[in-house]
Each structure stands twice: as structure tokens, then as C-alpha cells.
Amino acid sequence: MLALLAAFPAYGQKFRRVRALPLPALGYSPEQGFYGGAVGFFTFPSRDSLTPAASGQAEFNYTQRKQIIATVQGQGFLARGKYFFRGYATYRIFSDRYWGIGPLTPAENLENYDSRRLHARVTALRKIVPGVYAGVRAEAFYLHDVRPGPLLERTRPLGHAGGLAAGLGYGIQYDTRKNIPNPTDATFASFFHTVYHPVFGSEFRFHRIEFDFRKYFTLFTTPAWCEKKIGTFVHTLALQCNGTFSPGETPFFMMPLIGSENDMRGYFRGRFRDANMAAVQIEYRMPLVWRMGLAFFAGVGDVSPEALSLRYSALKHSLGAGVRFMADRKERVNLRFDFAVGKNETAFYLSFGEAF
């Protein structure tokens, strides 16, 4: 998501302590083409100085591929940082692409299928020690009104006609990031295990195990003696290792994927899917001049039917570079323009905030 006026927070207005910032939205991704619409950012100030302000976002977009996407999300702390909540809900009237299941699906398998999908996830965590939170997660994904292509109709993977996947799980998270949109010199790690079962209303029985580790190194920054003259410039090396494993009767629409605007850039989202996925990516972010910056990134990863069956010879690789424009210097929020190359694929991304 690219908020075109993100650099001008003065447009926001306060209503009963809530700060609202309505903006036009514009972006681009391989899955959607160019898209535009409206987005509203909301800030909910805390009642005390020890609790960070909560934030929310509501967005509606119409895409070049005639897709409709409505999203509401938010996060915040309560009780002086003792509890943390994050929520997300989206409804999409969506035309998507499908190549089949597995790490070796040929490009000529490509077909389109239409569907409507409702996806919601809520996470509630409690602080255990400083920086460490643990708690529960609930998730539901409802796919319906599916109009499959020939491959999806012929192979009939589990969930080909749609259905409801609903689950409840637990997790733990460690986070030292001070600035989530553009972290520097910080560590983030999370582990979540969600169980999808009919007792929660699910039509499918499977597990989803997710881990995500990120490390941010500040290589060097502006010397103090010239910071007032030219501003603060930070060179950052960012590393991410993440994986998703889903043993059981996993519907095809809940399988881990390779490719998106946030990981394994250069591959269409869902170009490869299977029961398990693991990926590593590294990115070097550097200032250029004024509010402009550059980024160089690379990634490697793959999907597989078994958790330990990833093959080195079949690993997918991606390389890319991008331009950054710091729309908000105070919060260090970037607009990013990325170009990435995968195996026999290229992709361009225009969005708001760093990939990870």
C-alpha cells in the first residue's frame, strides 16, 4: 500500500482523542497490477505516558485486474504495555493464478480462477519479561464462489470448491524494534502454532506452524557533528529467516506460498505452493541524498511436501534492487519501488514500508 500523502500528517484531524488521516491510496504488485482507492489511518492515544499509542488502518482498493479488496487492521498495547493485541480482516473479490501444487510446477500450467474470500486473524499476547510476549491466536479463512480453471477442476486438490478453515493456537514473540516500518539495530523472533479443527468450525483438519526470525544491523550512521546539517542517515543490513509448515489435510488455499511483495520478491504470489515452505532473505539499505535511498536484496527458498525434503538443487533464488523515498522523516517511513528477478520471472513492486 502506498499512501500518497503520507508525508503530510497535518491533514489529520482529532476527534475525541482519536487522530484520523484519510488519504488516497495507490500501489502496484504483480498479483493486482496497479490499484487505487482510499485509506484511513487512525491513532488512538494512550491514557498514560508509558503505553504506546494504538494504531489502525481501513483501506478499500480496486485493482487493474478488476479485483475488489477491503481491509481493516490495527494493533496496540494496553495496561502500560502489559498486553498487546493485533487484528486483521479482509474481504476480496479476487481473480488469482494457479500453477498446481509442488516445487516443480511448470510455467505452462498457469491458469486463472475467480473466488471470493474472507480472512480474519486476531492475536492477543501478554508480556512475560521485557520484550517477550506470549498468548493466543485465532484465525478463519473462508473461500467461496470459486470458479476454477481447467487444472483446478481436473486435479481437484483439497479445498478446490472452497470452504472454511478456522483454528485456534498459541505463540511467543520477542521484539526489540523501536520503529516497525523501518527497523535498525534490532531483533524480532516469533513462533506460532495454530490447530484447525471442526471443533472451531473448520471444514479441514490440519496444523500451521510458523516461525519468523529477523535481525537488523546498523553498519554506520551519520556522525553527530554533522547530523544537524544533513539529517540522520543509517546504513542497515537486514536478515530474515522464516518458514511455515502445515501437516495434515491442508486445503490448497491455506498452503504456504513462495513469492510476495514481502518475501521472495521476483515470484508471483502462489507461483509455488505446498505443505511446507522455508526462505531466507537479506537486504542492504543505504541512504543516497536528501530523502532518497537505495536497497539491494537477495533471497533463497522453496516449498516441499515434507518438512525435511527441501532439495538444494531445486531451491528458488531471487535478486533485486529498489529506490526508497522517506515520506516521513520523523517516523522514518519509506515508500519503496522494488524490481526483482526470480527464475524466469521478473516483478515490480510499489508499496509503503519495508518488506520486513
Q: How confident is the model at residue 13 (pLDDT cuts 50, 70, 90)?
A: very low
Report pLDDT digits (tens) over 154-202: 999 999 999 999 999 999 999 998 877 788 899 999 999 999 999 999 9
What pLDDT does residue 24 have? 85
Q: Which residues contact 160 (CB under 8 A, 6 or more apart)?
A: 146, 148, 152, 153, 252
Question: Which of 30, 38, 51, 43 has its CA nearest to residue 4?
Answer: 38
Q: What is the pLDDT of residue 133?
A: 97
Does a structural domain hold residue 315? yes
Decide if pLDDT at 334 tops 50.
Answer: yes
Q: What range does the domain containing 22 cover?
A: 9-352
pLDDT in tens, 53-101: 788 889 999 999 889 999 999 888 888 889 999 999 999 998 999 999 9
- Say if 97 falls within a structural domain: yes
* pLDDT confidence bin for 289, thresholds 50/70/90: confident
Dihedral angle computed from the Cα positions of residues 182, 85, 263 and 216, in that order, rounded to the nearest 10 degrees:
40
pLDDT band at 232, cuts 50/70/90?
low
- Domain membership of residue 283 (yes or no) is yes
Q: Higher pLDDT residue, 328 or 289?
A: 289
Q: How far apart are CA 253 and CA 163, in angstroms?
A: 10
> Does residue 163 contact residue 251 with C-beta atoms inside 8 Å?
yes
Domain assignment of residue 220, yes or no: yes
Q: Which cell goes with 106?
A: 511448470
Position 225 scores a pLDDT of: 53
Q: What is the pLDDT of residue 221?
A: 78
Q: Is residue 300 part of a domain?
A: yes
Residue 4 inside a domain? The answer is no
Whether 308 is in a domain gets the answer yes
Average pLDDT on 220-248 reads 78
CATH number, domain of 167, equals 2.40.160.50
Mean pLDDT of 135-139: 98
Domain count, the chain: 1
**Position with higher pLDDT, 338 vs 47:** 338
pTM comes to 0.86
Domain membership of residue 172 (yes or no) is yes
**Average pLDDT score, the chain:** 87
